[in-house]
Structure 1
């Protein structure tokens, strides 16, 4: 007796260890893992960071542009030659009277002086833009707009990841539900096989009835194997999607349950449209074209800047010199106005294209919302029909089972009733999963 209790204790401990070893995943946990680990989500966050760097880079254009440089050389001969003609030079004899009419002269021979044979030049400049046609201001706005777009795209990426997570999660849950259904079906067939074999031995039924049950059982076992393989592949794909290692003992906790009517999720599509990320992106695209037009227009406006410069110079054997200066610059791109007028016309056309795309795609988004609403209602109707079909199949099976026990119906009738029951149960499982996914889709396309 003590030995039996010991074995029972061991079995209990083993079962508990297996239970605690299992990793349980809820839908919300899966979503969080997907957002943290999915490669698309990571890249989307990096895109936001990159756009922030661009915005910060654009902001530096408000500050002076500082540059420094220098040049040093040593030439074979001077860069410039100064020729000096020779001749008699008057000599001052100390008498002021003789300055106008000198009587003494000194001969000066002709010569050539070579200068700048070697030298060093260095400078540092700081130029502050005063007016650039608004290009710096609009460039910063465009960079900020780019950051906003990156954040909106990140939200779209999150929505896509979450929707895919739900689709894959409920697919696995539905496959597990089908597995339970086919296991019950297999149990029914096994019990039926025992009954038919006993009846055959007693001479009540023909051997053909036994073969029919065995054939159906083989078919179910094959489908069961396919279902298990499909569930394994789906779980592996799901683990890759949420960024965790595949574990055959993984348990999906949430169940397929429908408690709310579609009407509880309904919102006006025109109000929902403005909450859509895609709608915001369309608005940003129009704004971006307008900013690019303003930047292009600024290229053909006068440009003004002020600056300071400090220079260092030393030539040949002369002393070094340093000096500073303040300067201003103004440039007017006169020759560019002709071609610029056509480029501005091009920008105007692109703005119009962006407006047309905004209108057209907004209408498509409204159609998408309407379709998602219809799909949600159709999915709920399919769920109700599947639920009713299952109830009818259960009643049909019960009638055929009683009839078979009373010898009224055949094995074929009972097998058909069993197969119909399994089919309607699977259809109900699919309808539940489809409704839940359609609900999530509708919530997403309405900005929720």
Structure 2
């Protein structure tokens, strides 16, 4: 009975454990989402997630509103004001006039009515006629600032695109390196089995076996290290595109795309960059803004002319005599001339400071163009070097594969030592790793060439 009881309890326990496992495993599977990801999708997600890109877009929106604000300054300005006043009671004055019907008699004539509650409504329209070109140059500055802000948005998008490409291919590189190193571990473990059989047969020494074990352990350490680099690259890419770090990314792109892409000559790339790089456009627009601000500062030295029209609806209206406690309307039109004859050099020195800033901005344009030329040539050279390295790595891999195959054949025939096989396997792993790294570097360098040429 006890035996049957224990068997029944064990059966119940097993069933419960199976239920728990069955309900737990789907939860784990759901916790880790999977997503296929190509390079263009990664760039789109990263730009949409980038807070700095959104900040630049907000700045561009603000610049659009500033330009519209500058446009509005050309148009008439309409103002409306209203006022109510309670004043102390004062009797209006009177005038004594002779009475024509009674010689020697006078009549008292009251001049208006006492008004203790006063109301005033004024509508005015002012149109600037001449402002020393301040309005036009202010509009120019706002227009160039808007263009500058849009170029900054483009620059930020280009930077995000370059970072995503580099991170994407770094993750691809880490995964391929892990596969290469796992192949090395597998080859070394197979060789270790063979060496143990030879040791059991008395045809190998303990030193030979220990050497292989050491190489296996070293390769396993490399797998762990590369796995850490892969996890870091995975985390970086997930962070850039705004996905949880638990998302399993299935990268669509491959590192090896075959023959290298043709590269234009340096001068053609430089011409493209100078014509389309956002940095050059930003520097140019900044110089235009600085030049417009010189004119804005200088406009204070000119007289200002405006035309003003006003309509008053007051109770009482002071333009009507005698004063009556009633609403009356009146209008006025004025041409206003104002000029600051002396301000102790405030306007003049403001203009001189703006001129110095404009000169610095103009010099920055040339500095930026030189930096763009240097960047284009440097990135082109980096890509050329990466392609040459990949070509050499392919040849080295072919040689290493033949050497490893020959070493195994000779070892099986008893004509080579175990150390020869280990060295050949290590060289093969190094050649595979060099090829993966050079191909990934070439893909990254190609993206940087596009960025340097302003093709993004």
Q: State the TM bucket, normalised to the shorter chain.
A: 0.7 to 0.9
1:70 and 2:82 are equivalent in the alignment: yes
Displacement of 1:239 in angstroms is: 1.6
Per-residue deviation, 1:446:
1.4
TM-score, normalisation: structure 1: 0.84
Aligned partner of residue 274 in structure 1, secondary structure:
helix
Alpha-carbon deviation of 1:163? 0.9
Alignment deviations for residues 400-428 of structure 1 (CA, whole Å, 9 cap, x no partner): 22232223333233222212211221111
Give 3-state SS (helix, strand or coil) of 1:264's partner. coil
CA displacement at 1:277 relative to structure 2: 1.6
1:415 aligns with 2:422: yes
By how many angstroms is 1:166 displaced? Answer: 0.9
> Counterpart of 1:250 in 2: which secondary structure?
strand
Match of 2:236 in 1: 237
Q: Tell me how far 1:83 sits from its aligned partner.
A: 8.5
Distance 1:318 1:387, change over 3 A: same
- Post-superposition CA distance 1:290-315 (Å, at most 9, x none): 11111112222221111221213225
Gaps of 5+ in 2: 1-25, 317-322
Q: Residue in 1 aligned with 2:138?
A: 139
- Residue 49 to residue 431, structure 1, CA distance change in 2 (3 Å): same
CA deviation map 1:214-244 (0-9, x unaligned): 2222222222122223212211210221223
Change (3 A) 1:136 1:325: same
Task: Check the 8 A contact 2:309/2:332 in 1, yes or no.
Answer: yes
Alignment of 1:44-63 (within 5 A): 44-63=56-75
Query: Which segment drifts farther, 387-396 or 191-200?
Result: 387-396
Contact 1:262 1:377 in 2 (8 A): no
- Pair 1:116–1:93, CA change in 2 (3 A): closer
CA distance in 1, matches of 2:97, 2:249: 114
8 Å CA contact 2:43–2:161 kept in 1: the answer is yes
Task: Give yes or no for contact 1:126–1:309 (8 Å, CA) kept in 2.
Answer: yes
Contact kept, 8 Å, 2:177 with 2:436, in 1: the verdict is yes
Please tell me the root mean square deviation across aligned C-alpha atoms, in Å.
3.0
Change (3 A) 1:351 1:91: closer
- Total equivalences in the alignment: 416
Superposition map of 1:243-322 within 5 A: 243-261=242-260, 263-268=262-267, 269-272=269-272, 273-315=274-316, 318-322=325-329
Could you say which residue in structure 2 is the equivalent of 1:7?
none
Q: After the TM superposition, which of the residue ranges 142-151 and 26-35 deviates more from structure 2?
A: 26-35
Name the residue aligned to 2:396: 389
Deviations 1:168-192 (A, max 9, x none): 1111111111121112111101211
Distance 1:54 1:270, change over 3 A: same
Equivalent residue number for residue 158 of structure 1: 157
Secondary structure at the aligned position of 1:304 is classed as strand
Q: Cα offset for 1:248?
A: 4.6
Find the aligned partners of 1:90 and 1:259 in 2 and give their Cα distance.
Answer: 116
Shift in alpha-carbon separation, 1:191–1:91, aligned structure 2, 3 A: closer
Task: Select 2:364's aligned residue among 357, 360, 384.
Answer: 357
| Distance in 2, Cα, partners of 1:399 & 1:177 | 25
* 1:183 to 1:430, Cα distance in 2 relative to 1, 3 A: same
* SS in structure 2 of the partner of residue 130 of structure 1: strand
SS at match of 2:301: coil
1:148 matched residue in structure 2 = 147
Unmatched 5+ stretches in structure 1: 1-13, 99-103
**2:186: which partner in 1?**
187
Quote how far apart the aligned CAs of 1:391 are. 2.3
Could you say what secondary structure the match of 2:372 adopts? helix
- Does the residue aligned with 1:62 lie in a helix, a strand or coil? coil
Deviations 1:250-271 (A, max 9, x none): 2112111244446533351542
